[in-house]
Structure 1
Amino acid sequence: MIAIGCDHGGFELKQEILAYLREKGIEYKDFGCDSTASVDYPVYAKKVCKAITDGECEKGILICGTGIGISITANKQKGIRAALCTDCFCAEATRLHNDANVLALGGRVVGPGLAVKIVDTFLHTPFSGEERHARRIRMMEED
């Protein structure tokens, strides 16, 4: 299951991504927000990340205006590897090399067509499993 959340700057793009997930039959849980009214992105980032670290969801998608604030918040959560992606190459590379479990997008940065392609790439690219990448992930997670 995919956890998804956004702030007001990502609400419209989230609607496009939800339509894609429904069309593809991909299960998701929407953690809000539910309109373009101003809200605080850390609230939604933390909800999505908690769903992942608790095992309720496998991966997450977070969207704010730029994707920056929400990705910074996500990466402060233990066990989360969030990647802000603006193209499919980055989405593929972060799954292959970093085993990223959260995709961050900027609702005011990428259009809906590209965003859906980025989401598709992120969700369907497995971690390579190569030892050098696994070693680097272990190094990231050290205290």
Structure 2
Amino acid sequence: MRVHLGSDHAGLELKEHLLNWLADAGYEAVDHGPFVYDALDDYPVFCLRAAEGVVADEGDGVEALGVVVGGSGNGEQIAANKVIGVRAALVWSEETARLAREHNAANVVSVGGRMHTLEDMTRFVEVFLTTPYSREERHARRIAMLTDYEKSHNLPPLPDSALGRGPAGS
């Protein structure tokens, strides 16, 4: 599996660690930067490229996921989610990493380099990379709604229960 990585200065150390860890674990890592420490760098430059790499590989039939890293992971997740076809999840535990893949088919994980230990963050990434999407109907339906909205910008219809009809509104 190919893993695309991007970060900012706050995530540089973790990204470097992950590059080595991924290689040792048999993954093909693609580093989208940064490549040197610059306290004034801008995470969108690197995280957008990592996210684009995931989508391009998926389009070519290559199994790929992405990892974006920053101080909190928030901005990096937001940046990655601007790329059409990306479902980036901010994770802070093994459970959130697992659920991001199982329920949301997330293809990019975001972690906060200043929020957790190196060991914990590595474990979150490991869980994310090794957890398959469940393909359960309810999750597939929800992802299809998001994909449809991404393409059409049309909101999904409200369910009858939200309109005061049906079992929930009875």
With the length of structure 2 as denominator, give the TM-score of the two structures: 0.81
Quote the residue 2:138 is aligned against. 132
Letter in 2 for 1:10: G
Quote the residue 1:52 is aligned against. 54
Quote the residue 1:35 is aligned against. 36
Quote the residue 2:13 is aligned against. 12
- Secondary structure class of the residue paired with 1:98: coil
1:65-104 aligned at under 5 Å gives the runs 65-104=71-110
Computed over aligned residues only, the root mean square deviation of the Cα atoms, in angstroms, reads 1.1
In the alignment, structure 1 segments of 5+ residues that lack a partner are none
Query: What's the CA shift string for 1:74-115, capped at 9, x where partnerless?
Result: 112110000010110000001000000000011111211001
With the length of structure 1 as denominator, give the TM-score of the two structures: 0.95
Larger Rg: 2
Q: In the TM superposition, what is the alpha-carbon distance from 1:118 to its structure 2 partner?
A: 0.5
Quote the residue 1:24 is aligned against. 25
Query: What's the CA shift string for 1:113-136, capped at 9, x where partnerless?
Result: 001111110000000011110100
Quote the residue 1:105 is aligned against. 111
Query: What's the CA shift string for 1:6-62, capped at 9, x where partnerless?
Result: 110100111221221121121111111012212100011110111111126611000
Q: Distance in 1 between matches of 2:35 and 2:63?
A: 20
Runs of at least 4 residues off by over 6 Å:
none
- Identity percentage over the alignment? 38
Q: Distance in 2 between matches of 1:67 and 1:122?
A: 15
Q: Distance in 1 between matches of 2:52 and 2:11?
A: 19
Q: Distance in 2 between matches of 1:5 and 1:108?
A: 16
Highest relative contact order (Cα 8 Å, sep 6+), 1 or 2? Answer: 1
| Matched positions, count | 143
